[in-house]
Structure 1
Amino acid sequence: MDLRKQVAIVTGASSGIGQAIARELSAAGASLVITARRADRLAALSASLHGPSVRLCAAIEDPGTPQALLDLAVAEFGRADVLVNNAGMFVAGSLDTIDLDDVARMTRVNFDAVVRASYLFARAFKRQGSGAIINVSSIGAYLSSSSVGAYSGLKHALEVFTSALRVELKGSGVRIGTIAPGTTETEIFDRLRASGHAVRADQTPPLDPADVAAAVRFMLTQPERANVARLLLVSSAESV
């Protein structure tokens, strides 16, 4: 895939991994459709990108958001070629303390919204005979740790869903896979530090969001005959 000819949609683009992916794909020549909740962050990112971009300030769990993103890409650039489902949230807590309403919202953001967007864009890509979807998972998909069971379970479900959709899309010209980053320095850890929680990144030198973005670019730029179905990226100092 020559990214200079592609239109890429990146969700959760206002900070962290999503912002880094948007910058990486723009530097590679792609036109960008970026979305997140924070309008000021999106505007600043859009102004800093190398090439054309448009933005949509929206909640990814809103059922109408995926269609709005596809419609915006087609209206502005005439097509859509890449979807990176990066938007997500992290909720942790013990059995006795975790907020179940927060867990329900995390389910809508981390799984329901990704499934909806993946299906919608996969249908569009199948019709045009080409396209790529990357769903951002987590090392948590492969771990069983106390206090993060809901988060890890959703990421594991995302891995299984993506793999099944890849099988369904075989021969269609549409590629799909997951990238599972290990500990990555993002705003999530800032919030955990502020609330007094221990942060793994403070003990183990973490990945930088740019590392994950470079891996996403690697996945997208493989020959058409190759589909990176699952990529686990961890810090060289991380033991998993």
Structure 2
Amino acid sequence: MSRTFEELVTEAAAVPVDGWDFSWLDGRATEQRPSWGYQRLMSARLGEVEAALDIQTGGGEVLAGAARLPRTMVATESWPPNVAKATALLHPLGAVVVADADEPPLPFADNAFDLVTSRHPVQAWWTEIARVLRPGGSYLSQHVGPASVFELVEYFLGPQPEARAKRHPEDARRAAEAAGLEVVDLRAEQLRTEFHDVGAVVYFLRKVIWMVPGFTVEGYREQLRALHEQIQARGPFVATTARFLIEARKPNGA
């Protein structure tokens, strides 16, 4: 017997959303993964350097999955619940977590790190990334691409033509190069995402708060109810996820 609308949204509205672990969605939503395997790439690079920085680490889950952390490993995070979660997870592994507002400047000296990483940064402050990298050091990151999951965003907010144009990989290339970095790898993919019940949608929008700013169940109850009925009648709500991988190196002579 299928669960009711009220049961699904009540459950999803009560689940904690701190950290960056989406395992609550297992069996309720699926997201195709990029072919390059960001965590595998990041883990390999971390094993090759002496000092690294992970920006906007969330709850530290991605970084904690690395096979080996370098001798000096620092992570930054701005949201207090995530700072606490990342500290508990990463300190036993030898990483230091720094509470940072995710705005310039980064609280580190020039030329401090061989590698800077970030998975899905809200914004990349390229000049600061270039400043804290040592000559020859690299920035390796998986970014959210343009109009990612916008089928869902526009279901709630209507057409977003200006927002659709943002987060283009070539914009990231130009910004990195303007900061003095050399882009050595840039790959983009569009991937399939499915939400199998309205509770998965509620959880996702509570966790990824910039998708539908100010989202609450009460504020969007009627749209959520209509979406529940649509999923019941037609099957999963399908959206397109956009991701791009970028690696940028600081020239040796910088």
TM-score (norm 2): 0.47
- Structure having the higher strand fraction is 2
Q: Which is higher, the Rg of structure 1 or of structure 2?
A: 2
TM-score (norm 1): 0.49
1 or 2 for the larger relative contact order (CA 8 Å, sep ≥6)? 2
